[in-house]
Amino acid sequence: MASFFENCNPCRSTALEQLALITPKLGRRYANERNFDRGAGHHEGVTMLSPWIRHRLLLEEELASAALRAHSFQDAEKFIQEIFWRTYWKGWLELHPKVWADYKVTRDHDLYTWEKDEGLRRALAGVTGIKCFDHWLMELRQTHYLHNHARMWFASIWVFTLGLPWTIGADLFMQLLLDGDPASNTLSWRWVSGLQTQGKTYLARADNIEKYTEGRFKPDNQLALEAKPLEEIGLPNLKTLEIPMLPEGGKPSILLLHDDDLSPESAPLPHQDIVGIALMNGSERRSPSGVARNVYEFVEAGLEDAVQRLGNRCVLPSCKAEVKSVLQLAHQTGARRIISIHAPVGPVRDAIDDFVIQLGMTENSNGLVVEIGIRDWDAFCWPYAKKGFFNFRKNIPVLLSNLVVL
Ligand SMILES: Cc1cc2nc3c(=O)[nH]c(=O)nc-3n(C[C@H](O)[C@H](O)[C@H](O)COP(=O)(O)OP(=O)(O)OC[C@H]3O[C@@H](n4cnc5c(N)ncnc54)[C@H](O)[C@@H]3O)c2cc1C
C-alpha cells in the first residue's frame, strides 16, 4: 500500500508546492470527483492537504485565494465550502466547549467498560469479515489518512452495524490520522451517530459503497439496514465567544509554539519581541493512548520547520513548553511574558490551560503571564457557527470578501 506519510513532508514549503500543483483541479473537477474513493495511492479526486491544513502549515485564506484565482466562484464553490466546513466545526466547538469535555469523560468511561469486548477486539484487529471495513482500518493504520467518504462509511458501520461506542471509534481516528482534529473528528462522529444534527444519522449503504469505490467493495447483506440515532441529554448552552485582545508590542517575549498553528510568522503577534521559543507537541494529548509514532513525528518536524522559518535571521533559543524550562529560558533571555497563537478547544488548549495553572502556582514565576493573539479568520468566522452549517454557509460570500485577498 502506497505510504501517504512518506510523501507528506511536514514543512510549509512542501505544503505550498503541493497547493500550487493541485490548484488547477480545485474547480469543477473537484466537485465532480471528490466523492470517489479509489483507494490508497489513487486519491486524485481530493487534495490530501488535510495534514498541512490541520496544523496550519497552510492557511484557510491561502486555500480560498488559490482556488479563486484559478477558478470562478461557481466552479470553486464546492472546494471552498469544504474549507469552511473545517472553520464551521472549529467555531461550533469553540462555542460549545462542554461537548469536548463530555466527549473525553464518555470516551474514557467507554474505553474502560469495553476493554474486554470481543467485537471491539475484532474491529480493532481488522478481522470483522466486512471486507471494506477491514481494508479501511488497514489503510488508516498504514497511511494515516482516509478519504472523507471512507471515514463516513467506516464510522457508520462502526456504530450501526458493529454496535460499538462512537467515542472509541473517534479516539481510534485521533490516534492514527495525521489530520486528527478535535473539532472535525469529534463532531463528524457525532453527526454520523445522530447526536450532532439531532435525529439525523448517516447510514452506510452497500450500493453507495459499490458506486463510489468503483466496484472495489460490495458489502451486500453485511450492513445494518437502519440507523437509529444515539441519544444524549440535549446540547449544552451556547458559550459567548471571547476574542482576546492582541498582545501589544514592547516586551521581550517567549513564543509558546504549538501544533494547532505552525505558521507563527503570519500570526498577529509582536514578532520583534520574540527572544525565545517554547515548543509544545500537543499530539500526545489527542488520545489517552497517545498517537501513532508517525503522527507524533509529523508534529515534531512541523515544529522544527516553524522554528527555522522564525529564526531566519538569528537562531532563537528554545525549550520544551514545561513550566520549569520556560522559567529558565525567561531568566536566560530576559523575557517578561509568554505569547501564543490562540488554540481552539481541544488537546492543545487543554495543555495550555494546564500550563497556565502550573505557572500561576509556581513561586518565582516573576509575574510571567501568557498573552494570546487570535487570527482574523477565526475571530471573524466563528461567531457565525452558532447553528447548523447550512445557516453558516449563507455567510461565505461576505466572509470571503473580508478575509481573502485576490
Ligand atoms: C468520521 C469523520 C472523521 C473526520 N475526522 C477528521 C479529522 O480528524 N480531521 C480533519 O481535518 N477532517 C476530518 N474529517 C473531515 C474530512 O473527512 C477530512 O477533512 C478530509 O477527508 C481530508 O482529506 P482531504 O484533505 O483530501 O480533503 P479534501 O476533500 O481535499 O478537502 C480539502 C480540505 O477541506 C477540509 N474538509 C473537507 N471536508 C471536510 C469535512 N467534512 N469536515 C471538515 N473539514 C473538511 C479539510 O481541511 C480538507 O483538507 C472527518 C470526517 C468524518 C466523516
- Please give the pLDDT value at position 364: 86
- Centre of ligand 1 to C-alpha 331, Å, is 42
The CB of 177 under 6 Å from ligand 1? The reply is: yes
Ligand 1 atom at shortest distance from the alpha carbon of 185: 5
- Please give the pLDDT value at position 6: 66
- Please give the pLDDT value at position 344: 98
Annotation: CATH topology of 4-94+382-403? 1.25.40
Mutation pick for ligand 1 pocket among 25, 26, 43, 50 (CB with most ligand atoms within 8 Å): 50
Is the pLDDT confidence value at 122 over 90?
yes
List the chain domain ranges.
Answer: 4-94+382-403, 104-212, 253-373
- Please give the pLDDT value at position 84: 98
CATH placement of domain 104-212? 1.10.579.10
Mean pLDDT of 238-255: 92
Is the pLDDT confidence value at 93 over 70?
yes
Mutation pick for ligand 1 pocket among 184, 186, 190, 298 (CB with most ligand atoms within 8 Å): 184
Mean pLDDT of 227-237: 87
Write out the chain in H/E/C secondary structure.
CCCHHHHCCCCHHHHHHHHHHHHHHCCHHHHHHCCCCCCCCCCCCCCCCHHHHHCCCCCHHHHHHHHHHHCCHHHHHHHHHHHHHHHHHHHHHHHCHHHHHHHHHHHHHHHHHCCCCHHHHHHHHCCCCCHHHHHHHHHHHHHCCCCHHHHHHHHHHHHHHCCCCHHHHHHHHHHHCCCCCHHHHHHHHHHHHCCCCCCCCCCCCHHHHHHHCCCCCCCCCCCCCCCCCCCCCCCCCCCCCCCCCCCCCCCCEEEEEECCCCCHHHCCCCHHHEEEEEEECHHHHHCCCCCCHHHHHHHHHHHHHHHHHHCCCCCCCEEECCHHHHHHHHHHHCCCEEEEECCCCCHHHHHHHHHHHHHHHCCCCCCCCEEEECCHHHHHHHHHCCCCHHHHHCCHHHHHHHHCCC
- Please give the pLDDT value at position 234: 76
- The pLDDT mean for the chain works out to 95
Mutation pick for ligand 1 pocket among 37, 38, 188 (CB with most ligand atoms within 8 Å): 188
Mean pLDDT of 138-163: 98
- Please give the pLDDT value at position 136: 98
The CB of 153 under 6 Å from ligand 1? The reply is: no
Mean pLDDT of 136-143: 97
Mean pLDDT of 284-288: 98
Is the pLDDT confidence value at 183 over 80?
yes
* Nearest Cα to Cα of residue 276 among 323, 324, 335, 321: 335
- Centre of ligand 1 to C-alpha 23, Å, is 17
The CB of 8 under 6 Å from ligand 1? The reply is: no
Mean pLDDT of 232-251: 87
Is the pLDDT confidence value at 336 over 80?
yes
The percentage of the chain sitting over the pLDDT mark of 70, rounded to a whole number, equals 98
pLDDT top residue among 335 and 6: 335
Residue whose Cα lies nearest atom 37 of ligand 1: it is 82
Read off the pLDDT band of 214 (50, 70, 90): very high
pTM, full prediction: 0.97
The CB of 51 under 6 Å from ligand 1? The reply is: no
Residue whose Cα lies nearest atom 3 of ligand 1: it is 185
The CB of 346 under 6 Å from ligand 1? The reply is: no
What does the pLDDT look like over 34-73, one tens digit per residue?
Answer: 999 999 999 999 999 999 999 999 999 999 999 999 999 9
Is the pLDDT confidence value at 340 over 60?
yes
The CB of 35 under 6 Å from ligand 1? The reply is: no
- Centre of ligand 1 to C-alpha 208, Å, is 19
What does the pLDDT look like over 355-378, one tens digit per residue?
Answer: 999 999 998 888 899 999 999 999
Read off the pLDDT band of 313 (50, 70, 90): low
Superfamily of domain 253-373: HUPs (3.40.50.620)
- Centre of ligand 1 to C-alpha 315, Å, is 35
Read off the pLDDT band of 212 (50, 70, 90): very high
Read off the pLDDT band of 151 (50, 70, 90): very high
Read off the pLDDT band of 3 (50, 70, 90): low
Ligand 1 atom at shortest distance from the alpha carbon of 180: 8
